[in-house]
Amino acid sequence: MRKLLLALLAIGLLSACSAATSAPASGGTAQTMITRDGGPAPAVAEGAPAVGKGVPTTDQGAARPGGIPVPAALDPDRALILTASIAMRAQDPWSAADRAQAVATSLGGDVMSLSQSGSGDQRHATMTLRVPADRFNDALRQLRSLSDVEVLQSSVDSKDVTEQFVDLEARLRAKQAEEQRYLALLARADKIEDILRIDQSLNAVRTQIEQLTGQLNSMKSRTTFSTISVSVTPAGLAPLTDPKVYDPTRTVERAIAALGIMFRVVADLAIWLLVFGWIPLLVLAAAVAARRFRRPMITPSA
């Protein structure tokens, strides 16, 4: 009877251990299946576009007239200073400059500087336009698509000042809190020397607050509005010649230019001799005079 009881007890212990071992294994398998079938994996897939918010899009980088790609949209969560430079040529550069100004004003921008020079077929125009940063790409597209205009060169530059922006804001908040502490001390001060000392420190803090506020406003203005430099030159009317083809007129032009350079060198040499030529003559005259004074006197013999 005792052996039978021991055998039954051993069988019960073995069955309990096997059940405890199989339960965690089956639980882990179920958890794995849930994760693969409908758990976090679909949630991550659905959240992928949200993570990519602000990533440059490729459709905005398609090539535009002139063969120059338009820059893709930039991250709106970053503080960026955007600048661009466009060189173009047109039959009437002044008219093209007027149309470029109209593009900037239609997008909510303005003209910071404008220079027009020349006359007739030699007119030139340079300008600096300022447009809202969120309309920067639109401005570039419209400028490059102006009628009767050929884009020669285009470049875009961006400078990330997010860290500087955050640093200035943090420093400004710290100085404003320091100003409030000095005001509280000033309200409780009852001695003249304490009041003067606190007031001096308060003025220094307020000066720093004004400086930080000015830097912050300047950076906000540069990130809110982007600048585009535009230069328009007249379209070339003369056909281009092949440099490999012999052209005697070029040889004549080079010979005339060399002759002019030679005449200029001779004229410069003559001017130098005229200005400094008397110095060697003076030295020679001094040497002759010294030699005559050193010559011994010859006395007649008796």
Span 201-236, pLDDT tens digits:
999 999 999 999 999 998 888 888 999 999 999 886
- Is the pLDDT assigned to residue 78 strictly greater than 60? yes
Helix residue spans in 225-247 (DSSP H): none
Percent of residues, the chain, with pLDDT higher than 90: 22
User: Which of the listed ranges 68-77, 187-196, 288-297 does the model predict with the highest average pLDDT?
Assistant: 187-196
Q: What is the pLDDT of residue 14?
A: 53
Span 105-143, pLDDT tens digits:
999 999 998 888 887 778 889 999 999 988 899 999 999
Q: What is the pLDDT of residue 8?
A: 56
Judge whether 185 lies within some domain: yes
Judge whether 37 lies within some domain: no
Span 26-49, pLDDT tens digits:
443 333 333 333 333 333 333 333
Q: Give the DSSP H or E segment for 82.
A: strand 80-90
The more confident residue out of 86 and 47 is 86
Judge whether 274 lies within some domain: no
Judge whether 157 lies within some domain: yes
**Domain coverage including residue 124:** 80-238
Task: Identify the weakest region by mean pLDDT among 81-85, 152-156, 157-161, 235-239.
Answer: 235-239
Whole-angstrom Cα distance, residue 256 to residue 264? 12
Judge whether 255 lies within some domain: no
Helix residue spans in 145-277 (DSSP H): 162-188, 192-224, 248-276
Q: Give the DSSP H or E segment for 152.
A: strand 149-160
Q: Please count the structural domains in the chain.
A: 1
Judge whether 141 lies within some domain: yes
The more confident residue out of 86 and 14 is 86
172-199 mean pLDDT: 90
Where residue 296 falls among pLDDT bands split at 50, 70, 90?
low
Judge whether 129 lies within some domain: yes
Task: Identify the weakest region by mean pLDDT among 60-64, 153-157, 173-177.
Answer: 60-64
* Longest CA–CA separation in the chain, Å: 178
Span 247-291, pLDDT tens digits:
677 787 788 888 888 888 888 888 888 888 778 878 888 888 888
Strand partners, 227: 83, 130
Whole-angstrom Cα distance, residue 61 to residue 70? 5
Judge whether 159 lies within some domain: yes
Q: What is the pLDDT of residue 212?
A: 92
- Is the pLDDT assigned to residue 22 strictly greater than 60? no
